[in-house]
Amino acid sequence: GRAVDGITAAQPPVAATARGAAPSGAGGTASASGTGDPDPATTAEAARELFDTTRYDMGSNAVAFAGSTTANGKGLLLGNPHYPWQGGRRFWQSQQTIPGELNVSGGSLLGTAVVNIGFNEKVAWSHTVATGTPVNLHQLTLDPADPTAYLVDGKPEKMTRREVGVQVAGSTDPVTRTQWWTRYGPVVSNLGPGLPLPWTATTAYALNDPNASNLRASDTSLAIGKARSVAGIQDALRRTQGLPWINTIAADSAGGTLFTQSQVLPRITDELVARCSTPLGRATYPSSGLAVLDGSRGDCTLGSDPDAVQPGIFGPGKAPTLRDAPYAENSNDSAWLANASTPVTGYERIWGNTGTQRSMRTRGAVEDVSAMAAKGGLTVADLQKQQFANRVPAGDLAAADAAKACAALPGGSATGSDGAAVDVSAACGVLAAWDHTADTSSRGALLFDRFWRKLTQNTPVKDLWLVPFSAADPVHTPRTLNQAAPGIGRALADTVTELKAAGIALDAPLGENQFVVRNGEKLPVGGGTEALGVWNKIEAPWNAAAGGYPEVVHGSSHIQAVGWDGSRCPVARTLLTYSQSSNPNSPHYADQTRLFSQERWVKSRFCEWDILTSPQLKVVWPRERR
């Protein structure tokens, strides 16, 4: 999807158009002179940002606990995907039952016919966004006589020209675009802003995306839904290999756990990159996992693994995997710290990195779940507590030091971004008294939230912390806020000015200013943004005129806490944060949103007797009309 515009905009150089090689009216980034090659350093940074899964609003948390950590020896799973609250990527809850074939409950993305995240009698699973880079580029050496032909082992191959037309409302003629295809995939002129890939007289870039031909995701979800154990989920992933960009975390009733990054990735090995990278690829691959291979060499093809279901992708045997650890957790960082006591290593760079700084959310999650596993005796109730603990890891690390830095400002005054002096003395006490949670009742949470966003957006990491990151202690570093960092005073001044201008008290309870409105009812929302590291992730655009954060865009969505108690029925508590219906006239438009606001759950009715005895049961028989 990120490459669509770059594919349709990619056109041969202007000089080639004069010779009739390209269609008229087609734009794109091209050069007849052969100059304009991408700058490796700039492109590497742009690629790092493009493929960094921790910088996007969407994401997920999930943790599986083994029987060795639970009260009854059976597994536990807490799934907490962070997805849009509006639009086509909402989850829809259902239970699908085909007697003797399938019985699975959970959430499905709108438009899909299978349960994507859920549980059955024996196993529960969730997904998180993975760090694998799902595409790669081939740098083409063009035929000097024809920029729509490229050389492979010295022999020219002609590109395939494809015209694609789309009928547009209000127009009698379709809007057409020309695509240029190679043995590696379509020619692409960019991968988004900041990552241009100019088609010059000598060079072009082709995009290899193995998921363009992957239509197996529904097969994978169906097979997972029929699995009876974490081993069965592994087998389902091995047989179908249909997940394009997600990890799988699972627990079963026998006490087993699983983390696996079994996603479809181009078969880019570190050895292939070392042998076949272009100068651009030597910059982009270490930073982001984006390989740029020499397309002029036939020995630089991706090859195949014997256990792969399609050519040019890794087989499941190469996927970073952790089985039966006391806990297995992921919060959108790489597989490395799925269990901090047993780091996962040995995988190719394209799967993700190791030995690098983790996100604040990963650090907080690992701290929480490792402490839970060490305590032991866990039940579904402990999963429910973790979901709504609303601990702010950034607050634990920095709030006390920020309050001290605030109190040390001469005269309690700081200079804002506009150059004006601001009295911030009142903020010092609020930060010092804050309980470091993002509950709706937390006083000081909003002040720290606004301060922390401003500080971290404008202060380099090296200037923010006194103790730098160490791969030997990745969960607890970097740490110790640098109270002398010049950005602290400015961020405090800007935050105080902002809140006062909006009429918001510095110690206002978070829920007064982080909320949603449904049919005129204001529902406070707990949780916090990515930079704060809160497990219960909530992303809401700031709107001072509307009172703060008046609507959630992304965040906790289809939540499930699942275990087993020895009976045939799983013990499951679920919550669809934005509710099942998007129709304001439906009784299910805001019912679960109200529960989410109150930190309450839905008790799942999975077994047939529980369903049939529900006082709210309504049976509808669909029939075909002929």
Q: What's the CA gap between 122 and 569, in Å, rounded? A: 9
Closest by CA position to 562, among listed 251, 331, 258, 260? 251
Q: Is 370 helix (H, G, I), strand (E, B) or coil?
A: helix
- Quote the tokens at residue 202: 């000598």
Per-residue pLDDT at 31: 41
Q: What's the CA gap between 409 and 543, in Å, rounded? A: 29
Q: What's the CA gap between 535 and 531, in Å, rounded? A: 11
Per-residue pLDDT at 51: 87
Per-residue pLDDT at 25: 37
Per-residue pLDDT at 192: 85
Residues facing residue 76 across a β-bridge:
65
- 7 close to 207: Cβ distance less than 8 angstroms: yes
CA distances from 545 to 393, 499, 500 (A): 29, 11, 12
Residue range(s) in the chain whose domain bears CATH number 2.30.120.10: 4-33+136-208
Q: What's the CA gap between 611 and 626, in Å, rounded? A: 32
Cis peptide before 478 (omega within 30 of 0): yes
- Quote the tokens at residue 171: 């127009």
- Quote the tokens at residue 249: 């975390």
Catalytic annotation present for 370: no
Per-residue pLDDT at 15: 61
- 80 close to 61: Cβ distance less than 8 angstroms: yes
- 538 close to 527: Cβ distance less than 8 angstroms: yes
Looking at domain 4-33+136-208, its CATH class is: mainly beta
* DSSP code, position 38: P
Q: What's the CA gap between 251 and 124, in Å, rounded? A: 6
Per-residue pLDDT at 52: 83
Residue range(s) in the chain whose domain bears CATH number 3.60.20.10: 53-133+213-268+300-372
Q: What's the CA gap between 234 and 11, in Å, rounded? A: 43
Residues 6 or more apart whose Cβ sits within 8 Å of residue 377:
69, 70, 71
- 32 close to 14: Cβ distance less than 8 angstroms: yes
Give pLDDT < 50 ranges for the chain: 17-35
Q: Sheet harboring 246-252: ordered strands across?
A: 91-98, 102-109, 117-119, 123-129, 246-252, 257-260, 321-323
Active-site choice (60, 331, 557, 604): 60
Phi, psi of 610 (to 5 degrees): -65, -40
Residue range(s) in the chain whose domain bears CATH number 1.10.1400.10: 390-534
* DSSP code, position 537: B
- 548 close to 554: Cβ distance less than 8 angstroms: no
* DSSP code, position 37: P
Q: What's the CA gap between 193 and 347, in Å, rounded? A: 30
CATH architecture assignment, domain 390-534: Orthogonal Bundle (1.10)
Enter the CATH code of domain 53-133+213-268+300-372.
3.60.20.10
Q: Is 10 helix (H, G, I), strand (E, B) or coil?
A: coil
Per-residue pLDDT at 523: 98
